[in-house]
Amino acid sequence: MPGKEREVTFEKPASRGKFVAGGVLVLVLVVVLAVAIAVPLSQRRSETTDRARRLMEEVPLVDGHNDWPWQLAKNFGNQLSQVNLGTDLRLQYTNSHTDIPRLRQGMVGAQFWAAYTPCNSQYKDTVRWTLRQIDVIERFAAKYPDTFQFVTTAQGIQDAFDAGKIGCMVGVEGGHMIDSSLAALRMLYKLGTRYMTITHSCNTPWADNWLETLNPNPEHNGLTDFGKTVIQEMNRLGMLIDLSHVSFKTMHDALDVTQAPVIFSHSSAYAICNHTRNVPDDVLRRLRDTGGVVMVNFYNDYINCGPNKTENTTIAQVADHCDYIRDVAGEDHVGLGADYDGVTRVPQGLEDVSTYPALIEELLTRGWTDDQVKKFLGLNLINVFKRAEEVSARMTMDPLDNLIPLAAIANETCRTFL
């Protein structure tokens, strides 16, 4: 037994040594394998980043909706002398999404700036507010000519991009802002407005907004006859029809009337997030047939209808909406309309205008082709813009001079009438 004990005692260290040596070998192999995997992954990420930036250098990123002008009104009274837009505005006001340095970092090629006035201005001083907001867009474009170029045509977007500048366009956010007047609509076009959102979050005397979708007794059940005339006059002018913020019935009524493709300047897919600010499948399928583009909104509440949407909305979920609209409507009918500076909650990784490249990288990792990404970035919107211009050029009729029935605006107390 003593000899046996000595034998056992002798064998244990040898066994432990083999075990340790084997463990070291395994550890070395794991490290080598990890390095072997990590290097290609890192390389692939770098390649995807480079590819995203290359595509963004080749075609302009056109965003359909940014409320920066409203932030300038709220925070600075539109007094551009009181603010330097070339600095980081997060130091000036909270929840800032936009300034010139971050626009450049995000490689923005062109932007529809929202000329917005709240619904409580309807029947009051809405036209005054509208003019004020168009004015500040034109003024900041002129004040920073090395960065911005005010444009009013599809070709102008490309011209500004070729010059290394950000094309600035006006979108009037809400049909209440024409005060039920076709004359006002025409004057806004002459001032540079190139789309009008048919409603904001209130009905006009001639169209139902998105909140009416769930109303069993909507005020107008879509567009009134005068509302359909507004659509026709927008076609004649070459002004894009924006159906973000309208009811589902208003969407269909507008699609029934319009001769030009429409846009949704800042909406997402209803099938993924069943918020009535989003676009249902039957409308997406109509876009495949009639043309148009849905420009995906980044607002958490329109992207993520699940729990914890405030904290846990991600780039991946935004990309899910992009994928879905591409698959249902087609790759020619999806774009970007982030709604920066108009919303309070945005996804992780898409905190402001500097972050667009991260979304493009996400789409590339999902297998989007270069051509699909270019369409998404801006070519789809530019194509819709061109088609609206072509429709306008073909329409030889005189300006429409229909008047809305006085009964429809009887609640307008601040008025004079003939």
Task: Give the pLDDT of residue 218.
Answer: 98
Q: What is the pLDDT of residues 233-245, one digit of tens each?
A: 999 999 999 999 9
pLDDT of 312 reads 86
- Please give the backbone phi and psi of residue 283, each rounded to the nearest 5 degrees, phi first: -75, -40
Pairwise CA distance, residues 145 & 327, whole Å: 39
Residues with active-site annotation: 65, 67, 173, 200, 245, 266, 339
With beta carbons less than 8 A apart as the criterion, state whether 167 and 358 touch.
no
Residue 380: name the closest of 335, 330, 415 by CA. Answer: 335
Q: Domain spanning 59-403: which CATH class is it, in words?
A: alpha beta
Q: With 80 as the cut, is the pLDDT of residue 124 above it?
A: yes
Instruction: Round to whole Å and give the CA distance between 354 and 97.
Output: 9
- What string of DSSP letters covers 189-254? HHTTEEEEES-SSS-BTTB-BGGGGG-SS-SSSSB-HHHHHHHHHHHHHTPEEE-TTB-HHHHHHH
Contacts of 251 (CB under 8 A, 6+ apart): 243, 279, 283
18 pLDDT higher than 50: no
pTM of the entire structure?
0.89
For residue 407, name the pLDDT band (cuts at 50, 70, 90): confident
Query: Is the pLDDT at 25 greater than 60, yes or no?
Result: no
Residues in the chain: 418
For residues 136 and 79, what is the distance between their CA atoms, to the nearest angstrom? 9
> Could you tell me the two tokens for 209?
């907004």
Distance CA 231, CA 77 (A): 33
Per-residue pLDDT at 44: 66
Give the bridge partners for 169, in sequence order: 112
Q: What is the DSSP string of 25-91?
A: HHHHHHHHHHHHHHHHHHHHHHHHHHHHHHHHHHS-EEEEEE-HHHHHHHHHTT-GGG--TTS-GGG
Q: In the predicted model, what is the mean pLDDT of residues 247-251?
A: 98
Residue 112 has pLDDT above 90, yes or no: yes
Residue 295's Cβ-side half-sphere holds a number of Cα atoms within 13 Å equal to 29
Q: What is the pLDDT of residue 413?
A: 65
